[in-house]
Structure 1
């Protein structure tokens, strides 16, 4: 963008005038949160000032908390996220139970099969944010170059070029993995299903976060496994103290969690806690099925490590995919199953033989040409900006007692509103063409009736903004009606 020259005044230092010009552009909305500012040299040329003047102006804006610097990238308008109170650590029941996901199935049908629905419930990214043109071009290219391979039966573990690129990619998560240790799957959910089936028998108990991703619960039900919910913090993740207590007193077949920017809380374990988790599970010889589908979507700093990075005994079965970063429809995921790889690949072969080869080759080509890193940088900024806008809108339109998670990556928010009936809100919102994910579907014990999940992965626009306003209005109406119902009869008459 071009910035018009300054009208120099002697009342303030030149760098202060430059800073005020940038500040006004931020206030007017010309520069949005997450936008990159002109480079120092570009702004120097536009305003006819010195490099040192621009640097001093940027430092002043940084001190005021208006902009931030990203190493080797430049200066950006700071994402001034509103700070609503966060949900408290969960306190689920301590009994293991079989899972019934009929309610989840009904939610999925309404979320994916209702035309015109504002998709605030399903955790799906906007297709417009994905590099579909590049992937389509590469798909045509690999089909021309590999006409027979792309239409042939393939055996697990999958396409060698893709496994090579994934092994390189996993170095960013702290994992040193051989391509031969990687099994390609149809998305993360198949990887998760195969991993759990490889380490459990019907009737076994699996430890999960609470709340947890409802897809996990569907898998547990299908495999006839019991779920044991453990307390989970919205920032720090699963309680290791509760986990250790359970491991000491019960027979646990496996643990299953989303380690980075979890679904639905958005929590991200520290490296120290991940190391302690890996060591604790190794002590009791309990495998961990780790879903790291959101790990590449960190907003700041380095990509967080996976628990797999601390696995010294082959007990962590690492699952991930490109569904949230490149393409949900291509269904390309993978699993690093450690000591369970042979068993997992046998189950994969029995279930569906292989993941479509053309899809694998197209993703491999995209990764090989360096496009993934460039795409991720933009996607992270977009997700962060959209989450910021959604949190701000919630603060503006929802009751003041609303609690909202503050994730540092991904595109999911979890809301906790005392007195709210999330299932009733879910049904009312559908009548307004709005989808939300009600809290009870994230727990086998059907807790979290006052909570729901929102998706900030869709493009922020007027329809989304209006949907948030409508949801806030519906919540306020619901709480007001509840207060009236609970009032003494005499007050209700007035």
Structure 2
């Protein structure tokens, strides 16, 4: 990271944590240059970068100030977001696929503004460079590797994954690493290893809709545990549920949870691992957004706090590098052998050329450089989406403020039906993700998830303006 990028990140962190408030001046170029012992040119570069990211703006005769939407104008959801859940958790049969598929099928038109999409724009990924890596990998792959790597995975890829894991204290051995067809296969394999039809699984509420579909397919019952929009799953309710119900596993996103964007603190992650050990509860950690953090320090995964080998860590390159390559992995701990055997009985192996291509890119393609640019772009687009919401949506909406990923969760006024809003917006060529698809009980009826992972342009700006009008129309009707 260059010197101006480091300085820019220091200022950005002060804004994120609220030390520098909206409307406040940041240090002048002259003062910053003198106190940090850096050139004025370096300070200017840093401030230009912060401008592009939407965190500060230049004002005549005032210097640079923190933009109004950068750290505090929009109100975050609180416990009211969880009011639909019963006082005592219950096991729920999952039947959401028809609703989920009806929503997803309606988004296939390429002309639709993809605010409801589950992926960032493909233009944010180094697809041409990956293509060169694919060509190189195919040319250089030894003939024997076509068979040898089928059951164990590409050796270079495995080594690169473990090296990156070490940077966050997420140490695991080659023996417990299983390469999979994306994170979804990883999560499926973990659940199938731990459960039988009819078993109970603790999941977050709201939860990523694919987790609900997996439970439905495997005929498992969901025990919905509320997630706070800022700091993640409610450990008190989880423990209370464990005392009453025979829960076989817990599926959780501890960092940049989809759809809320919530991230657990290190202290809370440690407490969850202690809870897991006390009740011998296996945890499936879905950590696909880990590389998309805003700031200098990567978040530590739950697995790095696991002292009892009960966390099965799942991730992939789909959200950070190569969506269509479908390469994920599991660090399965003591369950790794069972997971690997189950994979050999089903898919056997993910694509060997795709593994080799990503391995080559990780070695030679500048992955960290790509990630820095991707994170900066996503943070800037988050700021633009927040500003649009501030401009066009009702003043009483509540919006999450995640420190990574590419989703915002929006709690709308209570008289707004998000499924009806979804249909109205789609008729105008705008997709959104309505709240009920993220719940086993199809709750969160006045909530939506919006994706800020698409390159901001006039069409997106206009779509947010129109969406605001549609939301306001519910209040006029009532």
Say which of 188, 191, 195 aligns to 1:196.
191
1:374 aligns with 2:364: no
1:222 aligns with 2:212: no
Residues 283 and 55 of structure 1: CA distance in aligned 2, closer, same or farther (over 3 Å): same
Q: Which runs of 5 or more residues in structure 1 are unaligned?
A: 1-39, 45-49, 68-74, 483-494
1:454 aligns with 2:444: no
Alpha-carbon RMSD: 2.8
For 2:311 and 2:268, the matched residues in 1 are separated by 15
- Whether the aligned pair in 2 keeps the contact of 1:166 and 1:179 (CA below 8 Å) is no
Report the counterpart of residue 8 of structure 1 in structure 2: none
TM superposition score normalised by structure 1: 0.82
1:304 aligns with 2:299: yes
- Whether the aligned pair in 2 keeps the contact of 1:120 and 1:454 (CA below 8 Å) is yes
Cα offset, 1:171, TM superposition:
1.4
Secondary structure of the corresponding residue to residue 329 of structure 1? helix
Residues 55 and 223 of structure 1: CA distance in aligned 2, closer, same or farther (over 3 Å): closer
Residues 332 and 52 of structure 1: CA distance in aligned 2, closer, same or farther (over 3 Å): closer
1:169 aligns with 2:139: no
Q: Which runs of 5 or more residues in structure 2 are unaligned?
A: 1-28, 58-63
For 2:355 and 2:46, the matched residues in 1 are separated by 46
Say which of 80, 92, 102 aligns to 1:97.
92
CA deviations on 1:186-212 (whole Å, 9 max, x unpaired) are: 111111111111111111111111100
For 1:448 and 1:216, the matched residues in 2 are separated by 17
- Whether the aligned pair in 2 keeps the contact of 1:156 and 1:184 (CA below 8 Å) is no
Cα offset, 1:366, TM superposition:
1.1
Cα offset, 1:168, TM superposition:
0.5
Cα offset, 1:165, TM superposition:
0.4
Secondary structure of the corresponding residue to residue 314 of structure 1? coil
1:323 aligns with 2:313: no
Report the counterpart of residue 14 of structure 1 in structure 2: none
Report the counterpart of residue 21 of structure 1 in structure 2: none
For 1:328 and 1:409, the matched residues in 2 are separated by 18
- Whether the aligned pair in 2 keeps the contact of 1:398 and 1:476 (CA below 8 Å) is yes
Report the counterpart of residue 85 of structure 1 in structure 2: 75
1:362 aligns with 2:357: yes
Residues 408 and 52 of structure 1: CA distance in aligned 2, closer, same or farther (over 3 Å): closer
Report the counterpart of residue 439 of structure 1 in structure 2: 435
Residues 161 and 77 of structure 1: CA distance in aligned 2, closer, same or farther (over 3 Å): farther
Cα offset, 1:369, TM superposition:
2.2
Say which of 387, 390, 393 aligns to 2:382.
387
